[in-house]
Structure 1
Amino acid sequence: MRIDWDVPITMDDGVVLRADIFRPVEPGEYATIMSMGPYAKGLSFQEGYPGNWNRMIEAYPEIAEGTTNKYQNWELVDPEKWVPDGYVCVRIDSRGAGRSHGHLDPFSPRETKDFYECIEWAATQEWSNGRIGLLGISYYAINQWQVAGLRPPHLAAICVWEGSADYYREMSRHGGILCEFLGSWFQRQVVRVQHGTGERGPRSPVTGELAAGPETLSEEELAANRINPGQDILDRPLDGDYYRDRSPDFSKITVPLLSSGNWGGQGLHPRGNLEGYLAVPSEQKWLEMHGDTHFSPFYTDHGIALQKRFFGHFLRDEDTGWTQQPPVELQVRHPGEKFVQRSENEWPLRRTRWTKYYLDPDGQALGTTPSSGADLSYETTGDGLTFLTPPLTDELEITGPVAAHLTLSSDTTDADVFLALRVFDPDGEEVTFIGSNDPSVPVGLGWLRASHRKLDTQRSLPHRPWHSHDEIWPLEPGVPVELDVEIWPTCIVVPAGYRIGLTVRGRDYENEGVMLPGAMYPMKGTGPFLHGNAQDRPAAIFGGVNTLHFTGGVAPYLLLPVIPG
């Protein structure tokens, strides 16, 4: 390869961003795979995230084969697996991060405009064929949605790999409840490589240059040159311009799209991939859903082959067989981390049998017949209530969006409802799965703050309620209200003899957890997507007793997308 380090790209306001460009030695015009983000292009995957790297290579040795691994970077393609096939790989440190100057403001309109300008800059370089493709995981996927909405003329295709979209509903406030992820993520992964960290930060193992330098600024100077997203979302409990400015306009995305999501990404990743696939008006769009960790499927031979078939078709007019790619490709999940690939024509699946499983207070059962009975109360600081089906007589597939309808009251003026869709084996042990950000996640999770129960009737569907989050409807203590709760889409084939469970709680789902070497946060079933901020959830309001009601209205139910055998 020929590698050009720290290539300057000047923005319209004079700020200079820096890019590393990996390209074939032979002169020519090549297709370009581009990414832009805040994790520092000079920080190696192995040094920055050693625990994740070691676990990935142990599980999939093929990832480290056929490459020296010198240029591995968190959540980005390995140039040594792309440049030999005639691609240029461009990595750009976003404004205020790594070796790029400027004010650090992730997902902002300014950063999106920078991405637009970088795409157009790359398309005019002598090594470019004028067609730019975007590829990367998570952050490097989320900002693809945003910049594609600006319609850069030379953007030819995007592969959004596990990328959320709605800054309010998916990244900041689940069901209106503040998620602590953004604040902790920013400090843990972004601030440590803010531009100006300099000598206090890491060095590139290849060039020896400071990954977040070259200058070293004081802590006060660094703090003044960045936003505080944790505080920003705490200060803004309702949806509005701040969140919309950091969310894409799906209606303006017409570029060819491959949306690739993770069933186990509850808390950040699957919802945006599915909502985006449905909403974009592009005539050329595909959906792929898988399981496993956040990064392994991206780097495996299977993942790279899928990506190259897509980009080979749209960036180089190659006959890669992509014209035969089904609109929807699902890795259908079974217990024991077994996945069966299946092609479909649409999402949600047209043959879905939307089935109501009613909550029965007698024995805390789930059944297909409405039930009534005595109300059930639970301490919001405890384990809540779990409703179970009888052991299944036949295998049952659940694939698609999930929702629940509850009638609930609180002994205070508000209530946070946490739902967990679960599976239990014949011995009564919960079956969990490898998730994108936690190794033992349940089948599905949902959240709703009762005072945010107002629905947008134009956007709501029976299987996907849409809350407007534009005003507060306080509760009257002891007075029941009806709640429609979105549980994020999922997929599981439940064997005969197993049980399906729905847990209703007043705090985050939690299991015994798994200890992982080098983990960045506790692993107890929800990863970093926790909701324990005392300012957002004061104990005087959210630390009391909630009651589920079973009389006087619609029987509470869980709506499941059952797929016929």
Structure 2
Amino acid sequence: MASEQKWLRIHNSQEWPDYYDEANVEDLRRFFDHFLRGIDNGWEETPRVRYSVLDLEGGGRTEIPATEFPPAEVEATKFYLDGNSRMLTTSAPTASAKAAYDVDAANSAVSFITTFDDDTVLVGYPKALLWVEARGSDDMDLFVLVQKLDANGTSLQAFTVPNRNARIHDVTDHGASILRYKGADGRLRVSMRHLDEGLSTDAVPAHSFDRVEKLEAGQVAEVEIDLLPIGLSFRPGQALRFVISSRNLLGTMMPGIREYAGANVIHTGGECASYLQLPVLRR
């Protein structure tokens, strides 16, 4: 990884179907032929970065060339949460508001939506900065998800494998997200919110995980949560939904996850301007 001679190709499917695709096998063979066998095959002319953008309605793109990731044209853009309107806005609300949910309720989540007026592409690292409060507990498990909605408000998903039979539907309805893409997600236990200042960047917060900081009654804590990298396009009229929950929104992946009792409160606006920061590709 320390080598200056690195190439990055970001695919748009699950890794095994992609890895064994004939064209991709030959692409990798060219790399090995050049560096292991010394063959002058023009590999060094290959773009250093090739990324993909999902459309989730059949219009995705792959092999988009760039010199770095995220591309230099990406601009980190804050979308502020408004607890009153449940909208995401590019200007911080002046009025304070709260959005809360019961941890043990069936619908233990709150969400916020923005609708795009223009063609919009997100490429890079999303993050969330939230001001949160726990009621009836001294800790919180937060799961966040960025979803794409069509013009009718229906959430869009896409299988990442060519096999889409009934069994694949069964196992991916409430889990197995590696086989069906439902959006970029992230998670954090709030008592582990302390940041490693040496590793954190504006785009990607890095947590130290070297201390436990429980919440006191009435305390409103600032937390930053990194989400998985994204490559997603939106057409006018389509929307982005940002969901916050006490449960894994993609379905539980690991056993032993304990959910805390009480209510989770998300503070927005005013002095507690929670926001979702998105990597918007400017052209």
After TM superposition, is the score higher than 0.5?
yes
Match of 1:380? 103
Residue pairs, 1:262-301, within 5 angstroms: 280-301=1-22
Match of 1:544? 262
Match of 2:132? 408
Residue pairs, 1:27-38, within 5 angstroms: none
Q: CA deviation at 1:551?
A: 5.0
The whole-number CA distance in structure 2 between the counterparts of 1:386 and 1:343 is 34
TM-score after normalising by structure 1: 0.45
Q: Deviations over 1:379-412 (max 9, x none)?
A: 224340110003x111100000110100001021
SS at match of 1:363: coil
Which of 74, 88, 93 is matched with 1:352 structurally? Answer: 74
Match of 2:114? 389
The whole-number CA distance in structure 2 between the counterparts of 1:281 and 1:463 is 22
TM-score after normalising by structure 2: 0.88
Match of 1:507? 247
Which of 453, 465, 476 is matched with 2:205 structurally? Answer: 465
More strand by share: 2
How large is the RMSD of aligned CA atoms in angstroms?
A: 1.7
Letter in 2 for 1:345: T
Letter in 2 for 1:377: A
Q: Work out whether residues 12 and 62 of structure 2, in 8 Å CA contact, stay in contact via their aligned partners in 1.
A: no
Match of 2:35? 314
More helix by share: 1
Deviating above 4 A after TM superposition, structure 1's stretches of 4 or more consecutive aligned residues are none
Identify unmatched segments of 5+ residues in structure 2: 162-175
The whole-number CA distance in structure 1 between the counterparts of 2:61 and 2:102 is 38
Q: CA deviation at 1:552?
A: 5.4
Larger radius of gyration: 1
The whole-number CA distance in structure 1 between the counterparts of 2:65 and 2:272 is 37
Letter in 1 for 2:245: R
The whole-number CA distance in structure 2 between the counterparts of 1:435 and 1:502 is 22
Match of 2:190? 450
The whole-number CA distance in structure 1 between the counterparts of 2:108 and 2:11 is 30
CA spacing shift, 1:385–1:532, aligned 2, 3 Å: farther
The whole-number CA distance in structure 1 between the counterparts of 2:4 and 2:23 is 25
The whole-number CA distance in structure 2 between the counterparts of 1:551 and 1:363 is 11
Q: Work out whether residues 312 and 318 of structure 1, in 8 Å CA contact, stay in contact via their aligned partners in 2.
A: yes
Q: CA deviation at 1:294?
A: 3.0
Letter in 2 for 1:362: N
Q: Deviations over 1:307-342 (max 9, x none)?
A: 111111111111232111111011222222422321
Q: Work out whether residues 291 and 434 of structure 1, in 8 Å CA contact, stay in contact via their aligned partners in 2.
A: no
CA spacing shift, 1:551–1:292, aligned 2, 3 Å: closer
Q: CA deviation at 1:435?
A: 4.0
Q: Work out whether residues 376 and 549 of structure 1, in 8 Å CA contact, stay in contact via their aligned partners in 2.
A: yes
SS at match of 2:10: strand
Match of 1:478? 218
Letter in 1 for 2:205: P
Q: CA deviation at 1:467?
A: 0.3
Match of 2:275? 557
SS at match of 1:355: strand
Residue pairs, 1:90-489, within 5 angstroms: 280-337=1-58, 338-371=60-93, 372-381=95-104, 382-390=107-115, 392-411=116-135, 412-435=137-160, 438=177, 439-489=179-229
Which of 227, 231, 238 is matched with 1:498 structurally? Answer: 238
SS at match of 1:414: coil
Q: Work out whether residues 433 and 443 of structure 1, in 8 Å CA contact, stay in contact via their aligned partners in 2.
A: no
Q: CA deviation at 1:557?
A: 0.4
Letter in 2 for 1:491: G
SS at match of 2:97: coil
Letter in 2 for 1:424: L
